[in-house]
Amino acid sequence: MTSARDAAPTPTPDGDARPICVIGLGLIGGSLVRASVASGRTVWSATASASTASAARADGYDVAQSTDEALARAAEADALVVLATPLTAITEVLRRVDAIAPRCRLTDVVSVQVAMRDLVEEHAPTTRYVGGHPMAGTAESGWAAGSATLFDGANWVVETDDGVDTGAGSVWADVAELAWACGSRVVPAGSEEHDAAVARISHLPHILAAVLAAVAASDVTHPGRGFGVDLGGLPLTLAAGSFADGTRVMDTRPELVVAMCEGNRSALLAAVDDALGRLGAARGSLASTGGLAATVNAGHTGRQHWQSARTAPEVRIPTGLKPAELRDLGREGKVLTGWS
Amino acid sequence: MTSARDAAPTPTPDGDARPICVIGLGLIGGSLVRASVASGRTVWSATASASTASAARADGYDVAQSTDEALARAAEADALVVLATPLTAITEVLRRVDAIAPRCRLTDVVSVQVAMRDLVEEHAPTTRYVGGHPMAGTAESGWAAGSATLFDGANWVVETDDGVDTGAGSVWADVAELAWACGSRVVPAGSEEHDAAVARISHLPHILAAVLAAVAASDVTHPGRGFGVDLGGLPLTLAAGSFADGTRVMDTRPELVVAMCEGNRSALLAAVDDALGRLGAARGSLASTGGLAATVNAGHTGRQHWQSARTAPEVRIPTGLKPAELRDLGREGKVLTGWS
């Protein structure tokens, strides 16, 4: 893939690239601060954690004394405010935004989009908000785990619902340019489309991994529960490659997985229902004809389509495309790397 | 883990370690030939593929002109015959065993055990058969993909049903010593226990991976099927870590996955039913209270138990333990590294 770092950002009225104000300095927020500073932006931040603030300042980054101070600077400088706290802390932050910087340029890197949009409309309704979601992360968390290169080559979803201003100087353009500055590719999507997509490729994998790990460990965690012979620790002793891969995400702290999946409840329900239907069909076929070819072939085909999608066509776009035109590019599997 | 390569094998009547006759030179059979030659055994083999035979001979290995010739040598030398063909070819091979070496020492590395035992009882009933299953493999296949170190540190299940002779000089001891000679640890298990365990930790992961990949790709493979908005290629563009890990096994050739899973039908049905029950419970909880903590916590706990099982206690055993005593060691999560 080509680097998008050379995409020229839309200048602010005084000619500089848009300043960035990051609220929250965990893995994603902390990486965003590092990456956007590395790209030459003016960046400041805030965190509720005194120890994180000290660590970030010791590393040379500009951390405001409080969220209110960071937001006041953002209002003054017409900066792009990026919310990078957990979803559970968002309401309180939005109340401060509404009090201090009610008209600010606002985006987020929280993950779910419909729930975020609803919260913004309720608690900070006059902000100029466009949601975002960089598809990047590790099993680690916290400031120390962050990296200026976390977003290199990642896909960064930018909310592109009908009615969003996508023109030059818009918040949509700000978010896209921030993504490009961090080395990411932009994927335009509507809020509901985004949530449905991540339910299938991020949240459902966690649920299936949980089910798989629980099945394999069941005779250890619930010995003698009565399903025929008790296997004890035998399955876990024999478990290797396919089990290890299929359950890896269960190494993540369970409260983070629960919050992430529950935050996308209605889209995840649809994905789980799809999976239940397919697993039930496999079960029925195995029990009747014994045949699993349809199930396995569909899975193999799906995986092949994903392998193809890893070399997604990269396109540059003119300014002024309408939201529906941009969303079509996302549905076609294209990723955006800059202005044409 | 300690190496088990120094476990002294039971000598044959003429004082040498048991000779090995391997039928089938794919990934597993080819690796077994290399590993057992490297351990100092006398080894010969047979393959139905002329090109594989040429390749193996070019690499310096002893490949008989035919399966019959290899089996005749095995009968003469009281060798341990190891069946390493796909399950679909086993019946024809067993007929040759019955014709040429009807009393031979016999084991296999085919994977499923109840089906293998039934086939042996039907087609080669007078052989001295003890099933085996080294838990090793790669996504590759064929002679060229094999390696003398494939079994290093792997767990090798040896069939330990009631009535199996596990004493000194027995076929059970032959198989255990072959596993140790190849660097593996022995896990004793009954045929049905083995099949139930691998259904949970090897075959179910393939079915769940197939379901996950099919769900994510559904709007590409079946556009416009009518579940709300059509996401097109969007999910696959966004799919990264958790999807990649959860579907990796779908890179394997689908006909191999189908044959493996269908060969363990009844045990796999029970595992799929367990998974369906747990996924349905997650669905119900998500739809009613919205809570996924029970599902995710069970998965996290299962994964932690597996991490602990990776440092399974290694024990050496005296000769003469009864099958039930050996199976208890397997259920306790222990692995055997040699004679005490």
Nearest to A207 among B196, B207, B282 (CB): B282
pLDDT tens per residue, range A285-304: 999 988 999 999 999 999 99
Q: Does A284 touch chain B (CB under 8 A)?
A: no
CATH numbers and ranges of domains, chain A:
20-189+315-339 (3.40.50.720), 195-291 (1.10.3660.10)
Q: Does A238 touch chain B (CB under 8 A)?
A: yes
Using DSSP's 3-state secondary structure scheme, residue A161 falls into coil
Q: Does B230 touch chain A (CB under 8 A)?
A: yes
Residue B4 has a pLDDT of 44
Put simply, the answer to whether B299 touches A274 (Cβ < 8 Å) is no
Long-range pairs for A88-95: beta carbons < 8 A, 24 or more residues apart: A88/A259, A89/A24, A89/A48, A90/A116, A90/A119, A91/A119, A91/A123, A93/A23, A93/A24, A93/A67, A94/A119, A94/A120, A94/A122, A94/A123, A94/A124, A95/A123, A95/A124
E strand or H helix that includes residue B296:
helix B293-309
Pair A149, A107: CB distance under 8 Å = no
> Is the backbone of residue A333 left (phi > 0), alpha (psi -120 to 50) or beta?
left
List all residues of chain B from 160 to 199 with a beta carbon under 8 Å from chain A.
187, 189-190, 192-194, 196-198
Q: Measure the CA–CA gap between A29 and A21, rounded to whole angstroms.
A: 10
Residue A282, both tokens = 């496999």
Put simply, the answer to whether A213 touches B298 (Cβ < 8 Å) is yes
Q: Does A3 touch chain B (CB under 8 A)?
A: no
Pair A22, A47: CB distance under 8 Å = no
Residue B87 has a pLDDT of 86
Residue B3 has a pLDDT of 43
Q: Does A100 touch chain B (CB under 8 A)?
A: no
pLDDT tens per residue, range B16-64: 689 999 999 999 999 999 999 999 999 999 999 999 999 999 999 999 9
- Interface A–B counts its CB contacts (< 8 A) at 404
User: b/e map of A31-57 (b: 16 or more CB within 10 Å)?
Assistant: bbbbbbbebebbbbbbbeeeebbebbe
Residue B133 has a pLDDT of 96
Put simply, the answer to whether A274 touches B215 (Cβ < 8 Å) is yes
Residue A340 has a pLDDT of 93
Please report where in the chains the tokens 């991976």 appear, as a residue: B209
pLDDT for residue B210 is more than 50? yes
Nearest to A283 among B246, B272, B287 (CB): B272
Residues in chain B within 8 Å Cβ distance of A134: none
Residue B139 has a pLDDT of 67
Residue B185 has a pLDDT of 97
Of B6-10, B218-222, B329-333, the range with the highest mean pLDDT is: B329-333
Q: Whose CA is closest to B117, among B30, B190, B186, B197?
A: B190
Q: Measure the CA–CA gap between A312 and A86, rounded to whole angstroms.
A: 30
Could you give the ipTM of this predicted complex? 0.89
Residue A16 has a pLDDT of 67
Q: The whole model's pTM is what?
A: 0.89
Q: Does B274 touch chain A (CB under 8 A)?
A: yes
pLDDT tens per residue, range B227-269: 567 899 999 999 988 999 999 999 988 998 998 899 999 999 9
Q: Measure the CA–CA gap between B180 and B5, rounded to whole angstroms.
A: 6
Q: Whose CA is closest to A135, among B340, B257, B235?
A: B235
Residue B330 has a pLDDT of 93
pLDDT for residue B226 is more than 60? no
Q: What is the average pLDDT score of chain B?
A: 92
Nearest to B331 among A232, A242, A306 (CB): A232
> Is the backbone of residue B137 left (phi > 0), alpha (psi -120 to 50) or beta?
left
| Mean pLDDT to the nearest integer, B302-323 | 94
Put simply, the answer to whether A217 touches B302 (Cβ < 8 Å) is yes
Nearest to A211 among B232, B261, B299 (CB): B299
Strands B80-83 and B20-23: parallel
List, in order, residues 6 or more apart from B44 with CB less than 8 Å away.
B19, B20, B21, B22, B62, B63, B64, B70, B73
Residues of chain A whose pLDDT is less than 70?
1-16, 139, 225-228
pLDDT for residue B190 is more than 60? yes
Best residue of A296, A326, A335 to probe chain B, by most B CBs closer than 10 Å: A296
DSSP B90-106: HHHHHHHHHHH-TT-EE
pLDDT tens per residue, range B126-166: 999 999 999 987 767 899 999 999 999 999 999 999 999 99
Q: Measure the CA–CA gap between B334 and B277, rounded to whole angstroms.
A: 30
pLDDT for residue B1 is more than 50? no
